[in-house]
Structures are given as C-alpha cells and as structure tokens.
Chain A
Amino acid sequence: MADNKTPILELKNVVSAYGRIQALKGISLKVYDGEIVTIIGANGAGKSTTLMTICNIIKAVEGDVLYKGKRINNVGSEILPTMGLCQVPEGRRIFPRLTVLENLDMGAFFRDDSANIKSDVERVFELFPKLRERRKQLGGTLSGGEQQMLAMGRALMSRPKVLLLDEPSMGLAPLLVQQIFNIIKMINEQGVTVVLVEQNANLALQCAQRGYVLETGKVVMEDDADKLLTNPDIRKAYLGE
C-alpha cells in the first residue's frame, strides 16, 4: 500500500480503559481507502475494544482517532454512521423483536431518501437472498448465520465508507463462514473499506491485504497479510502449527 496517501482511518497511540484497567495501551494503526485490513489476536488482546473505541462507545483516554484526517474522538457514536463509519458489533446484536425488514430500516435510520433506501434494501437482498425469504420474520427467530447476514446487511444500509466487522465468523458453521467471507470480499470490491477483527486468523489473513497482530492491548506486528500468513511466529501462535 502506498504510504503517501492519507489513511481513511487512523489510530494514533490510542489508550482506552475499563475503569482503571487499561485495555488498549497505545494502539496505532492505519487503514487506507479500499483496503481490507484485519486485526487478529488472542482473546482479550483488545480487538473488540479497538473497534468500540473507534466508534466512541468506549472513550479513548489518550491518543487520536482520525477519520478522513479529522479527529473523531469527541464525535458521538450516533453521528459516525452518518459520516460513513459503521460497525457490525460482536455477537451480531440485531434487534430480536423487530422484523428483518425493520432491522434493515433501522440501518438507514438517519437517512431520509426513502427511494434510495428501498433500492438499498433490494441490494442487501441480492447479497443475502436468505434474508428476502425471511423479511417478515422477527430477527430473533433467525439462525446464527442469518443473523450475521442481517447484521451486515443492516450496516450496509447506512452506505458505509468504512465497515468495521467484529468477529463475523463467531459461532458459525465452516461452510457459512466461507460464504460470509466471500461476501465481505464482494462488499469490498464495491468500494467499501473493511476493518475485520477475527479469531479465525487463517481465513482473515487470506481475505485481507494487510494485518495487525494485537497482544494485550498493543500492536506487536503489522505486515502484508500474505507475509503474516507465512510468518513462522504467527503460524505458531495463531494458526495452530
């Protein structure tokens, strides 16, 4: 990736904490327009916290979060989707007692161009045909994989520039995981920058262009994804060899 471009999303020495316990101890990372960047690491390394800090659900104690060169540390979480920064949170967190269509509508909550919203719903249904069949069903009655699709579709309804995905493979069958990753690539090809947090390092690195490795709240390694994939340390620590 060309370093002379300004990154669309950048974290500079971000520290964040739950109470007194520091979860991120100075994270710096850059995401360029059009990339898929993955953040891998063990449980408790701070992957999800990184995404939550970007979205300002958890406040950064120190450091800067820059989006399109602008500092967004103090921008409210509810403003970020309108700027094109949208997150699919860990564990999907769809609205269980709203229907699939209503869930998708909630993704476009801040938009008022109803004609475009309708065509966007169609676009989501094309990406996830299963959702079309289930559009009148309550979100909570969907299977895990369908819920993941719904969560991603809901995020896409906000027409994001940058999509933050937190563990999209969690609890899904291998076949479905593959399907979800294919869709992530498709979304990326349509011009959406993707930040992918994953436990399944193997798949994530195959999918992404670049990767960051997190360990106890610090970035311990950053490189191109294929280099990380062949790095013996990484293979030993995260790919089970």
Chain B
Amino acid sequence: MTTQESRKLWLACGVGLVWFLILLWPMLGIQPEGLEFAKTFKVFGYIAVAAVFIMFFYQIQEAGHLDIVGDPIKSATSNIGKIYEFLPRWALLGIVLAIAIIFPLVTGRYAHDVTISVLIYICLGLGLNIVVGLAGLLDLGYIAFYGVGAYTYALMSLHFGMSFWLCLPVAGVTAAIAGCIVGYPTLRMRGDYLAIVTLGFGEIVRLIFNNWMSLTNGPNGILSIPRPEIFGYQLKSLWMLYYVILAIAIFTIISVYRLNYSRIGRAWEAIREDETAAELMGVNTFLLKLLAYATGATFAGFAGAFFAARMRFVGPESFTFLESAMVLAMVVLGGMGSIPGVILGVLVLVALPEAFRGFELYRMLVFGGVMTLMMLIRPAGIWPAKRVGRRSEEAE
C-alpha cells in the first residue's frame, strides 16, 4: 500500500471518529442533572482505540504480513465449501431438520422462548418476502395482518370456543381478506405512494384494535386465550408449542418455495422488474399484485394466530410500526427474494440481540451500526437470491 492510500484511509478513519463523537455526545452527555463529558470520552476512548487497532490490523493484512494466519483459514473455509457442495441438498435439509427437531429436547426454557420467536418471525419474514422480494411492493404496514390473525384466533376461541386448529386457517383467511381490503384501493399506486398508504393502513388497524372497546377490549387487550389442544390434550409446555410453530414454519417455507418457482412467482418477478412491460406481455398485474398481498398476509395470519395462542394474550401494542420495520429489516438484511437469506436475516435480528443482552443500553446503537455496515458491505443481503438461470437450467 502506498503512503498516499494509507494517508487517505487514516483520514477517513479520523473523520469517522470525529463524526461519531459528535453523534455520541448528545446521547450520553446530556443528562437530567446537566451536561457531562467524562462518560462520553470514556466510551469514545474505547471505540477510538478499537478503531485504531482495527486500522493497524487492516494495514498489516493488506501488506501481506498476516498470510501465515490467513492462508490456513482460507483453505479451511474452501474445504468446508467443498463439503457443502459435495453433500446433496436433501442431506443438508435433513441435517437442519434433525437439529430443529432435537433442539428443544436438549435445551432449556429460555432457548425455547427465543427459537419460538425466531420461527414466528420466519413465517412473517417469508410472507413479507412474497410482497416485497418477489412482487416488489414495499409494504410498511405488514404487521397489521399479523395482528388480524392474532385477534381472529383470540376472538374466535373465546366467543365461539373454536379450537386452535380450526382457527388457524380461519386466521389465514381473515388476514388474506384484510390484505385484499388494503390492496384493492391502493395497488393502483406505485413505489413510494404505496409504501405511505400501507404505513397508514398498519396504523389504522392498530388504532382499531386500540379503540374498539366492545370487540377488542381496547388497550387492555384480550386475556386468557386458550392453549392449542391435540386430541383433547392441552399443549401446556413451551416445547410442545415449539413443534407447532415449527410445523407452521416448515409449511410456510415449502409453500413459499413452491410459489417462488411457479408461474405465478415468475409473473410476480416480472411485475417487480417492469410493471408496464409485464402488462404488455399479458400478465394481469392488478390481480397478481392482489394475490401477492393476500398470500403474504395469509402467512402473517398463521403466525398471528400462533402468537395469540403462545402468549395467551393479545394487545394492540404488539403490532406497532416498529414491528413492521423489524420484519422488513429482516427481509432486506437477509436478502430479498431468497428463502435461506430471509431465515438468516431473522436469526441475526432476533437471536443476536438476545446474545447481546449484556449490553442492553447500547443494543439499539449496535443494531443501527450493524444495519448501516451491512448495507454498505453487502447491499444485496447476507444470502442474496441466486437468480442466475436457476429455473431455466431446471427446465432443460
């Protein structure tokens, strides 16, 4: 590396650190007791030292002094890659499935809790992936359909005594209807306008949950929702519920996979690429966009019904805009349109914050930083959709 390049790098690093300080101080330094500087500089000092250390490390690596360490690692990763290619797909899937099935037997309650929320978000992420990743419609109010599913189960089971298994498809249908209701008037819009309208819809649904006292019990929420039963036996433990949501998630993954590689999936992608051109090719864009909305909403409805059964409580504050944004972040971070990508995105955004519980205070700071970094380094997501000729090859 030439001196000029290295000077440029150090300059960028320095400017970045100054920026960071400017951003950090208002967050840490402005206290109710007055202005404080010591704490800011303490935190800033740690980060500055870390940044300088990383810079040194990077420069040494660029200069090739680390090849002694780097080369074995590189060969090891390529070997792992070879094993991965060598194993047939079904074997890999089998291993993942086996791990998923054994998992609750060897772990505790806390792990069950986290994995259940991971699986719920997988359903949500994959559902949203249909709308955003395949059909290319930015939906900022997706969580509303999750809420509709949750309230459907809660109300149906409490008022009509319907079982969970009967309510699950009903929740899917009501969510799909909600999807059509929002879709019908709004899908004539494109891009930014659609995003704003869906954002509004999400809020409307939450406010309905919040204010329709006679039906939803308002902000108090609905309590003591019955647990799911199998042949009259109540699923009391968390690990039993784990298997329920695992089944729902697997169903979601298989359906989304099938949809992805179907004619409808191709038409969705064509709409995402160029709506007018798709229409000129004989694609009924309006109907297919409505279908994308309804299908995406259905999976959210399933997840919502399970959520109500698992928490045994639903309240409007579970369905805020922040949740919609989180699910969208999972899809974008993982890789739009890619099933393994979305699953990875969910794992990263649900499991990692759990792992970093120790840094409770800085969690959101780190979260924002990671998101920014990811979009800079891998804008297509962690596991981008592999789109190069996959289906065409299969057809031959």
Interface, chain A (partner B; CB < 8 A): 55, 57, 76-82, 86-87, 89, 93-99, 101-102, 105-107, 109-110, 135-138, 154-155, 158
Is there contact, CB below 8 Å, between B273 and A89?
A: no
> B127 to chain A: closest CB distance in Å?
21
**Interface residue from A81, A87, A109, A138 paired with B267 (Cβ < 8 Å):** A109
Residue B71 lies at the interface, judged by CB distance under 8 Å to chain A: no
Residue B387 lies at the interface, judged by CB distance under 8 Å to chain A: yes
Besides A95-B269, A96-B273, A105-B266, 10 other CB < 8 A contacts?
A76-B284, A78-B284, A78-B285, A81-B280, A86-B281, A94-B274, A97-B273, A101-B389, A136-B393, A137-B389
**Interface residue from A76, A79, A98 paired with B273 (Cβ < 8 Å):** A98
Is there contact, CB below 8 Å, between B277 and A95?
A: yes
**Interface residue from A95, A99, A107 paired with B274 (Cβ < 8 Å):** A95
Is there contact, CB below 8 Å, between A81 and B277?
A: no
Q: Which residues of the other chain, A, contact B273 by a CB distance below 8 angstroms?
A: 95-98
Is there contact, CB below 8 Å, between B270 and A106?
A: yes
Secondary structure of the B contact surface, majority rule: helix
Is there contact, CB below 8 Å, between A95 and B282?
A: no
> A83 to chain B: closest CB distance in Å?
10
**Interface residue from B272, B276, B282, B392 paired with A136 (Cβ < 8 Å):** B392
**Complex CA–CA separation, A50 to B163 (angstroms):** 59
CB-nearest residue of chain A to B393: A136
**Complex CA–CA separation, A94 to B274 (angstroms):** 8
**Complex CA–CA separation, A80 to B279 (angstroms):** 10
Chosen A-B contacts, 7 in total, with CB atoms closer than 8 Å, are: A93-B277, A95-B273, A97-B273, A99-B389, A101-B392, A105-B266, A138-B388
Interface, chain B (partner A; CB < 8 A): 263, 266-267, 269-270, 272-274, 276-285, 387-389, 391-393, 395
Q: Which residues of the other chain, B, contact A82 by a CB distance below 8 angstroms?
A: 282
Q: Which residues of the other chain, A, contact B283 by a CB distance below 8 angstroms?
A: 78, 106, 109
> A163 to chain B: closest CB distance in Å?
12
Is there contact, CB below 8 Å, between B270 and A55?
A: no
Known: A95-B273, A96-B273, A109-B267. A138 touches B387 (CB 8 A): yes
**Of listed A96, A97, A110, residue having the most chain B CB within 10 A:** A97
**Interface residue from B274, B282, B391, B393 paired with A109 (Cβ < 8 Å):** B282
**Complex CA–CA separation, A176 to B269 (angstroms):** 30
Q: Which residues of the other chain, B, contact A93 by a CB distance below 8 angstroms?
A: 274, 276-277
Q: Which residues of the other chain, A, contact B391 by a CB distance below 8 angstroms?
A: 99, 102
**Complex CA–CA separation, A91 to B273 (angstroms):** 14
Q: Which residues of the other chain, A, contact B263 by a CB distance below 8 angstroms?
A: 109
**Complex CA–CA separation, A155 to B263 (angstroms):** 18
**Complex CA–CA separation, A101 to B283 (angstroms):** 17
**Interface residue from A86, A89, A101 paired with B276 (Cβ < 8 Å):** A89
> B193 to chain A: closest CB distance in Å?
16
Q: Which residues of the other chain, A, contact B277 by a CB distance below 8 angstroms?
A: 89, 93-95
Q: Which residues of the other chain, A, contact B387 by a CB distance below 8 angstroms?
A: 97-99, 138
